[in-house]
Chain A
Amino acid sequence: MSYDEEFYGKQPGLKVWAGMLPFFLPFRGQLAIICAFMLLCSGVDALIPIFQKYVIDSFIVPGRTEGLLSVAVAGALLMGARMAGAICFTRFAIRVEMGFARDLKKACFDHLQTLSLSYYNTTPVGYIISRVMSDTDRIGVMLAWGLVDILWGASYIVFSIFSMLALDFRLGLWLVVMIPPMALVTMWFQKRILRHNRLVRRTNSRITGAFNEGILGARTSKTLVIEDINIKEFSSLAGEMYGGAVKAAFWGAAYTPVMLLFGALAVAIILVRGSASVMGGLMAFGTLSAMVSYAISIFEPIQQMALIFGEITATQANIERVLALLARAPEIVDEPEVEERYGDSFSPKRENWEPIKGDIRFDDVSFRYPDGDEFVLEHFNLDIPAGSCVAIVGETGAGKSTLVNLVCRFYEPTSGRVLIDGRDYRERSQLWLHSNIGYVLQSPHLFSGSVRENIRYGRLDASDEEIMEAARLVSADSVIAHLPDGAESDVGEGGDRLSTGEKQLISFARAILANPAIFVFDEATSSIDTETERRIQHAITKALKGRTSFLIAHRLSTITMADVILVVRDGKIVERGGHRELLKKKGYYTQLYAMQYEQDLIRGN
């Protein structure tokens, strides 16, 4: 699926914009103010040629000076009003732009907090980011400034037409007749300019991608000695960019002279017909000058309107994407009565929460991933008494995390039930469950900020002592001791400044701090040196005491401590039982186990 498709050549559709109405309403007052001040400004703008005509006809031509002061005062007042109008409408426009984008961002972000993990698993983060950050910004800009520009353009054109007709009806008519062809030509050009600009933007983002890949992949490219291939390909991309940009510039370069020619034609008409009238005494000099002013200046609002209409249609795509995000229903929701009793994720009613023991029972559970068509669990039953440990083993990609996803209610059973302390977990809120689960991921995710803040994420009201205690319990204190600023050290974006093993220890401390009844540990497969690994082993042993736990394990030492071992192959549980029991079966588990114990070790011993 392509996530960056743009929408071309669509007509402005009110329906799409209507979807924005709920966000639009709180700003209606401010939008009205913008309109009022905008009209004031364009009115003054359209009056300037009239003002000049008055100066010419009443003062310059007769060579008069009396009354000049009042004209100056009137002019200054006009300009003062224009300034006040400009200050007000820009101020409010920025407020609307930012406020609207802010509200939309918040709505998107809040909604994203409720969406199921299956959404995140199938949608690239970059795609979500651009919905929340750039689409909302663009909509805000269009709402505020699109309105400003359209209103200015439209009212300026209307005012000008009105003034021209009032000044000299027949000559004015000549100019009015020229507006539609000007608009048509403008639209013709704008369409091409917009299209080419879009292509250029797209090529540009490909160039960014190429640089990104060229730099990220440079080390690998060196070892493969394919620098020359890369350079050649980039060169053709840069050539494509050149061709596209030059072509886009062509339409822009052609458009302005054409419009100037239109303006000149209008001026020529006025001069030819107007001069005759002036000589015949039928028209004043000032009128001629004002008409010329209008003829020169009217093409600007036309151009602006064409531009804005193009952008409105482009913005529709942004709106559609944001609306689609907001309309996306979470796949896992609490029943209304559950929400009533336990509260939702944003405002939990903790006073109604029952304490948890940690008994878990899979009762005739069948499960199929929403995007899959095969059942990975069928009529699965498993009783896990509180405090026992379940290990899940199997090959990479065999589907070991399915069970964990179900226990955490990241996915719900397609049929059957998962019971916690004897009750279907759907009878309690998601937050209740999540607050009782400690989770250590295979590739642990930390948030930028200090080590302390990251551990505190497990329990927000924990004191510094409690945090250090949790760190000590899982031997994360030695990691902290090695950091330059101890617990205050910044872990970098996503925890980048720490190694995988260190990150896992910190996230262990975070999970322990929450003191959960259920503990989920996804053992890291990636390289962790033996010392850190021993620390993690030690941490697991401590952490599991008195908790119901699930271990996705890769190392035998972790597996052998489990009460039940589930062996997963091709997404299905093929064997289950205790370590000894499974070995005696001489089945797949024995095979896996033997792999670890290779002949040389036995010989060596």
Chain B
Amino acid sequence: MSRGWRALYLAAFLFMLLSLFCGFLLPQTIRFVVDSVIGGRAPEGVPVISWLVSALGASGPSRMRENLMLAGALVVLVAALGGVCGFAHHRILSKSAEGVTRRLRERLYSHIQRLPYEWHVGVQTGDIVQRCTSDVEVVRGFVASQLTEIVRVVALVVFAYSILFPMNFTMALASFLFLPVILSFSLVFLKSAAARFLAADEAEGQLLAIAQENFTGVRVVRAFGRERFEADRFDRQNRLYSDLWMRLGELLSTYWGAGDMFTGLQMIALCLVGVLQASAGSLTVGEFIVFLTYNSMIIWPVRGLGRVLSEASKASVSLGRIGEIFDVLVESADSTEPVELPLRGDIEFDHVSFSYGGAPVLRDISFTVKEGTTLGILGSTGSGKTTVAHLLCRLYELRPGEGGIRIGGVDIRRFNRERLRRNIGIVLQEPFLYSRTIRENVASLSARYSLSRIKEAASISQVDTAIEAFAQGYDTIVGERGVTLSGGQKQRVAIARVILREPPIMIFDDSLSAVDTETDARIRAALALRRETARGVTTIIIAHRITSLSGADRIIVMDDGRLVEMGTPAELLASGGVYRRINDMQRGLVADEEDFDVLR
């Protein structure tokens, strides 16, 4: 918490104590009226009352008796004062608590944006989102209410009994003895019920999962005629869940009932002791009323304290979970002064080896891509193709002794990382579209590009007709809250996004996989045409499909992190290696003479 918030937060506490104090004056005022004005006794207890009375212009109880309106004014004055302090307390508290939460959210968000690629690949999105929302909410709850509530209850008890004990020790003791009982009762109860709450939550989670899978897999359910089976499964879990809660309800009701009972017994005990004390002459009517009122002021907050404490204890868990995110280091800053050389020229992998989590992913890879040419990479899943692309973008960093990657002869680690990435347009295997308009997506959220250029990029990636078919065209919102695009459409929007940026280096990481062969061919033809007009764009295409690679100038074939074949497509076909084998697998089955005749 920064210093400014801390000061504000302390001010909120101060006002809270002030309003609490005013709240305490009300019963004192009543006592003063009952005992001193009506009963004619000398004023006792809190001296503030006598002070306020004289401030109101009444020199004493006798004067007050003649002008009862003053007593009324006193009550209203005290309440108004308390109200102003209470208002100030809540207002300042909300500002500081919400301010702290806002800062926490912002810091979390920007920290996560700056965490390394590696971290993002490994995490469960749901888990992190929960930390950023539910856990932040728990912390907010602690700062905004639980902490003040705990302090308030403690202050309430201290205040009240510092008045009550001097007033009448026996009465105060009778009232006080109940507090630890009530508090520990609710703490013990909440602790014992925690496991059941957890079980009920888990049952609810499972119920949710069943529903979710049924709705997303509705075609499978229908195709197999499994409506009955699904309904039964849902019904079973639904019953299990509600039964758990009903049994929990039995426990809860006992808890609430017992709490009421304690409260009631305390009140009766006070009455009994009060009667005994009054008959002994050591308790006035006013004092008795003060006891009853204070008691009712204390009892509810104390009863609630158990719940507040148990919730507050969750705050440290949540803070820990949030702290784990902050503990992860963000992408390191560039170590040395970055070079300002242009990102042009040949791309060179020089004896690159890379391992991830101890397992080698690339083993001694060397190849060169001449400026302005296209490199195709073929290989099975897990052969290391994608790692090549990621290393080039510095999404992963090479460590010393793992070889070097150079662009135009300059080691890529010497460029500013962001500048490097800006100059390499990569379409990821599973591209992400933001839930915004298609236009914003193609423009990478930037306002720099005109609509005509956006349309041009969309037409090169063959997605323009699909976009124009939407009622809102380029202003169609995609994602959860808008239109759902097919896998192929998403890939094509992502391709348009990269095309629009006109980077000198482009990488397509299996980004035509969900596009049919014809569209795939058209995109590649359009890209090739563009390459002729804008010289010097170096392209890397990673694919499973031989046809997607056939236009490349050179192809490398990777297997288990090694580079096993390299050459032009024709050379590789002639050599009869892996490339040829995969080619035949993908196309050989239908290759008979008659088909060729027809084609010619």
Instruction: Flag if B217 contacts A445 (CB, 8 Å).
Output: yes
- In B214-233, the 8 Å CB interface with A consists of 214-231
Partner of A395, one of B445, B518, B598: B518
8 CB < 8 A contacts A-B: A86-B253, A90-B249, A99-B246, A211-B133, A256-B86, A395-B519, A434-B224, A594-B599
B129 and A90 contacting across the interface, CB-CB below 8 Å: no
The answer, yes or no, to whether B257 is at the interface (CB within 8 Å) is yes
In the docked arrangement, what's the CA distance between A528 and B514, Å? 11
Chain B residues, CB < 8 A from A63: 278-279, 281
Residues of B within 8 A of A591 (CB): 518
B289 (CB) vs chain A CBs: closest residue: A289
A2 — which chain B residues lie within 8 A by C-beta?
Answer: 481
Identify which of A21-29, A121-129, A160-168, A419-427 touches chain B. A121-129
A-chain residues with CB within 8 Å of residue B125 when the two chains form the complex:
212, 215-216
Judge whether A79 and B120 touch: CB under 8 Å.
no
- Is the beta-carbon distance between B94 and A249 smaller than 8 angstroms? yes
Given contacts A215-B125, A253-B94, contact A260 B82 (CB under 8 A): yes
Name the contact of A101 in the complex, choosing from B129, B242, B428 (C-beta under 8 A): B242
A529 x B445 contact (CB < 8 A): no
Q: How far is the CA of A443 from the CA of B486 in the complex (A)?
A: 11
Q: Is the CB of B229 within 8 A of A460?
A: yes
Q: Answer whether residue B590 sits at the interface, using C-beta atoms and an 8 A cutoff.
A: yes
Query: Is B574 an interface residue when CB atoms closer than 8 A count as contact?
Result: yes
Asked if A179 is an interface residue, CB under 8 A from chain B, the answer is no
Closest A residue to B102 by beta carbon equals: A242
Complex interface: chain A residues within 8 A of B113 (CB) = 214, 218, 221, 227, 230-231
Partner of A271, one of B71, B84, B117, B589: B71
Query: Complex formed: what's the CA distance from A105 to B106 in Å?
Result: 38
- Minimum C-beta distance from A67 to chain B (A): 10
B73 touches A530 (CB 8 A): no
Of residues 253 to 270 in B, which have CB atoms within 8 Å of A's CB atoms? Answer: 253-254, 256-258, 260-261, 264-265, 267-268
Asked if A214 meets B109 with Cβ closer than 8 Å, knowing A260-B82, A601-B583, the reply is yes
A257 touching B208 in the complex, CB below 8 Å, given contacts A216-B125, A514-B224: no
Give the chain B neighbours of A79 by CB distance below 8 A. 260-261, 264-265, 268
> C-beta contact mask, B265-288 vs A, less than 8 Å → 1, else 0?
101100110111011010101001
For the complex, what is the distance from the CA of A242 to the CA of B95, rounded to whole Å? 8
A242 engages B274 (CB within 8 Å) = no
Closest to A89 in B: B253
Q: Which of A184-192, A262-270, A382-390, A465-473 forms contacts with chain B? A: A262-270
Contact of B381 among A245, A446, A499 (CB under 8 A): A499
Q: How far is the CA of A278 from the CA of B95 in the complex (A)?
A: 47
B248 proximity list for chain A (CB < 8 A): 94
> Which of these, A271, A296, A554, contacts B33 with CB under 8 Å?
A271
CB atoms of A60 and B278 under 8 A apart: yes
**Contact A445 B245, CB 8 Å, known A525-B514, A527-B513:** no
Considering the chains assembled together, what is the distance between the CA atoms of A533 and B589 in angstroms? 13
Is A557's CB under 8 angstroms from B253's CB?
no
> Which of A107-115, A315-323, A358-366 interfaces with chain B?
A107-115
Interface segment out of the listed B42-50, B160-168, B429-437: B429-437
Q: Which residues from chain B contact A576 at a C-beta distance below 8 Å?
A: none
Tell me if B212 counts as interface (CB < 8 A to partner A).
yes
Is B388 at the interface (CB under 8 A from chain A)?
Answer: no
B387 vs chain A, min Cβ distance (A): 14
Does A15 sit within 8 A of B, measured CB to CB? no
Answer whether residue B550 sits at the interface, using C-beta atoms and an 8 A cutoff.
yes
Q: Main SS of the interface on chain A? A: helix
Size of the A side of the interface (Cβ < 8 Å), in residues, is 178
| Given A59-B275, A65-B279, A529-B98 contact (CB < 8 Å) | no
Partner of B83, one of A86, A257, A395, A605: A257
B242 and A99 within 8 A (CB): yes
Asked whether A329 is an interface residue with its Cβ less than 8 Å from the other chain, the reply is no
Interface membership of chain B positions 129-172, coded 1 if the CB is closer than 8 angstroms to chain A and 0 otherwise: 10011000000000000000000000000000000000000000
Expressed in whole angstroms, the Cα–Cα distance for A52 and B278 within the complex equals 14
Q: For B72, list chain A residues within 8 Å (CB).
A: 268-269, 271-272
> Which of A202-210, A305-313, A333-341, A474-482 touches B?
A202-210
CB distance from B558 to the nearest CB of A (A): 12
A113 near B260 with CB under 8 A, answer: no
Q: In the complex, which residues 1-58 of chain A have their Cβ closer than 8 Å to any Cβ of chain B?
A: 2, 48, 51-52, 55-56
Closest chain A residue to B520, Cβ basis = A595
Interface-lining segment among A149-157, A233-241, A543-551? A233-241
Taken together as a complex, chains A and B put the C-alpha atoms of A47 and B442 apart, in Å, by 71
Q: Which of A55, A209, A257, A600 has the most CB of B within 10 A?
A: A257
Q: In the bound complex, what is the Cα–Cα distance between A48 and B260 (angstroms)?
A: 13
Apart from A213-B434, A268-B71, A560-B589: 7 A-B pairs, beta carbons within 8 A: A86-B253, A98-B246, A211-B109, A223-B421, A268-B76, A275-B34, A597-B599
Of the residues B37, B99, B250, contact of A275 by C-beta under 8 Å: B37
Q: Are B98 and A246 in contact (CB under 8 A)?
A: yes
* CB under 8 Å from chain A, chain B span 371-387: 380-381
Q: Contact check: which of B99, B220, B393, B591 meets A457 at CB < 8 Å?
A: B220
Tell me whether A109 and B211 are in contact (CB under 8 A): yes
